[in-house]
């Protein structure tokens, strides 16, 4: 037995999930493009706040009954309003960008072959990528919600919230409900992330994977808006994404959200499984 062999023999197998996961988060959040993406998400909710402020100044007293109009009376509502506005396009787009990069980005750079020969097992690499997508979804939703609260408070002030049911809840209770809304949105976005992860295993072009994932989410929203397809709506991933608004009822209405979480989970499991089946024996020629 040669000298180097002996030194390798004493090396124990340790788990690499934690270290690779930390490295993955540094990679995702250290990347300038992703940081700009977060700023854009924040900028959109800021624009919404400013637009509402301007319209309030021009038409004082005009007030609708929905969540967006409620912002004019209480800045904390801008957190909910931001999520409502961005859940349709911008948050899914952000997740699509991250998911497109997950495997296809590494394949495109050629770093995939070096990761796999390091070695990291393919299922572990997929799991790390999936968890990083979950964190990315959470951070995106958090930035929108907390950014909305800060901007809204600065523009409209903060105070106890009037729920959609007409009752009054304290600021602390309101913020707690906003946090629950963020977590609910995160689960839905992460499920979309699993679709993106699957697409990402099919190509070596991250842009293609991103575009395909964003198209899937947009298509789902369009299908969800066609009344003739109402039989299909309960099965669509995005159908209950906006149900976090039920957190603003008193008492909180949970039926739609619970079903929504099950749908998210089903999509997540199916597409993570599909990604694994595809990636497990894939020939890495990049």
Partner 1 sequence: MSPDHAAISSNGLGKRFGRQQVVVDLDLDVPRGSCYGFIGPNGSGKTTTIRMLLGLVRPDAGSCAVLGEEMPAAGGRVLPRVGALVEGPAFHPYLSGLTNLLRLDAADGTSDPATARSRAGAALERVGLIAAANKRYRAYSLGMRQRLGIAAALLQPRDLLVLDEPTNGLDPQGTREVRHLVAELAAEGTTIFLSSHLLSEVEQLCDHVGVMREGRMVAQGPLAELHGLRTRRFRLRTADTAVAFQVLAGLGVGDAVEGADGIVGGLGELEPDRIVRALVDAGVGVRAFGPLAASLEDAFVELTGEGFDVSA
Rule CB under 8 A: which residues touch partner 1? 1-5, 7-8, 11-16, 19-20, 22-23, 26-27, 30-32, 109-111, 113-121, 124-125, 281, 283-285
Sign, CA dihedral 187-188-190-194, equals positive
d(CA 169, CA 246): 14
Q: How far is the CB of 250 from partner 1 (least distance, A)?
A: 47
Beta carbons within 8 Å of 268's beta carbon, 6+ residues apart: 190, 191, 194
Q: How far is the CB of 26 from partner 1 (least distance, A)?
A: 8
For partner 1, give the closer residue by CB, 26 or 165.
26
For partner 1, give the closer residue by CB, 117 or 228.
117
Alpha carbon distances (Å) from 203 to 84, 105, 133, 274: 32, 9, 18, 14
Q: How far is the CB of 135 from partner 1 (least distance, A)?
A: 16
Both tokens assigned to 80: 């909910």
- What does DSSP assign to residue 66? S
d(CA 119, CA 122): 9
For partner 1, give the closer residue by CB, 18 or 170.
18
Q: How far is the CB of 253 from partner 1 (least distance, A)?
A: 44
Both tokens assigned to 194: 């699993």
For partner 1, give the closer residue by CB, 23 or 167.
23
For partner 1, give the closer residue by CB, 11 or 59.
11
For partner 1, give the closer residue by CB, 114 or 262.
114
For partner 1, give the closer residue by CB, 34 or 46.
34
Burial class (CB in 10 A: 0-12, 13-18, 19+), 211: middle
Q: How far is the CB of 56 from partner 1 (least distance, A)?
A: 43
Sign, CA dihedral 265-271-272-277, equals positive
Q: How far is the CB of 271 from partner 1 (least distance, A)?
A: 23
**Cα atoms in the 13 Å half-sphere on the side-chain side of 252:** 15
**Radius of gyration for the chain, computed over Cα atoms and rounded to the nearest angstrom:** 22
Please name which of 286, 20, 220 lies closest in space to residue 129, comparing C-alpha atoms: 20
**Partner residues linked to 162 by β-bridges:** 168
Q: How far is the CB of 105 from partner 1 (least distance, A)?
A: 9
């Amino acid at each position: 037995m040669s000298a180097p062999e002996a030194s390798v023999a004493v090396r124990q197998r340790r788990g690499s999930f934690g270290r690779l996961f930390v490295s993955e988060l540094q990679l995702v959040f250290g990347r300038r493009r992703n940081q700009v993406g977060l700023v854009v998400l924040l900028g959109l909710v800021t624009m919404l706040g400013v637009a509402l402020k301007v319209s309030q100044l021009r038409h004082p007293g005009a007030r609708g009954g929905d969540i967006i109009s409620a912002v004019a009376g209480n800045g904390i509502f801008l957190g909910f309003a931001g999520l409502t506005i961005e859940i349709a396009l911008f948050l899914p787009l952000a997740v699509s960008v991250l998911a497109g990069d997950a495997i296809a980005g590494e394949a495109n750079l050629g770093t995939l072959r070096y990761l796999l020969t390091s070695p990291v097992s393919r299922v572990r690499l997929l799991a790390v990528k999936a968890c990083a997508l979950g964190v990315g979804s959470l951070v995106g939703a958090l930035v929108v919600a907390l950014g909305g609260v800060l901007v809204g408070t600065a523009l409209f002030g903060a105070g106890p919230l009037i729920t959609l049911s007409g009752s009054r809840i304290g600021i602390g209770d309101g913020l707690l409900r906003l946090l629950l809304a963020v977590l609910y949105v995160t689960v839905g976005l992460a499920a979309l992330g699993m679709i993106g992860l699957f697409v990402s295993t099919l190509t070596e072009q991250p842009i293609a994977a991103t575009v395909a994932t964003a198209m899937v989410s947009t298509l789902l929203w369009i299908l969800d808006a066609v009344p003739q397809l109402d039989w299909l709506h309960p099965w669509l991933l995005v159908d209950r994404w906006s149900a976090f608004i039920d957190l603003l009822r008193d008492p909180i209405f949970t039926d739609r959200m619970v079903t929504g979480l099950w749908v998210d989970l089903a999509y997540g499991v199916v597409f993570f499984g599909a990604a694994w089946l595809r990636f497990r024996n894939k020939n890495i020629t990049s």
